[in-house]
Structure 1
Amino acid sequence: MTANPILLQKKYARVICRFAEKVSISLDDALAFFYRSDVYTLVSEGVSDMHCMSDEYLAEDLEIEYRDKARSL
């Protein structure tokens, strides 16, 4: 199932804002990370209806991915 592109963009904005708050980074850094993340890939491709998950759930997934990538550096 695919989401309405306009609604999806609004969801991205909410998730990015929440993610930036959770990991205490700037919105610019959060935006850059989001568009290179596995979470973005899954949501944008409609995998497992990830776009139906709550904003908080997606922000938590981003936080986990962010911390995992930081540890691997």
Structure 2
Amino acid sequence: MTANPILLQRKYARVIECFAKQQGLSLDAALDFFYHSQVYQLIRDGVSDMHCMSDLYLAEELEQEYVEKMAKNK
């Protein structure tokens, strides 16, 4: 299923804002991480209707990916 592009943009903004708050990141840093994440690719490509998941769920998935990436870079 393909989501409306305008609705997806709003969804991205809410998820990025939630993720930034959870991680204590600036919105710019959260935005950069989001657009280079696997979570973004899954939502964008419509895999498993990820765009239907709650903003909090997606932010938590993004947080998990962020923690894994930070641990890998240490």
| TM-score, length of structure 2 as denominator length | 0.98
Stretches (4+) displaced over 4 A: none
Taking the aligned partners of 2:10 and 2:17, their CA distance within structure 1 comes to 11
Cross-structure match for 2:53: 53
Deviations 1:24-67 (A, max 9, x none): 00000000000000000000000000000000000000000000
Aligned length: 73
C-alpha RMSD of the superposition: 0.2
Identity of aligned residues (%): 66
Q: Using the alignment, how far apart are the partners of 2:36 and 2:3 within structure 1?
A: 20
Q: Which runs of 5+ in 1 are unaligned?
A: none
Return the TM-score normalized by structure 1. Answer: 0.99
Aligned partner of 2:19 in structure 1 is 19
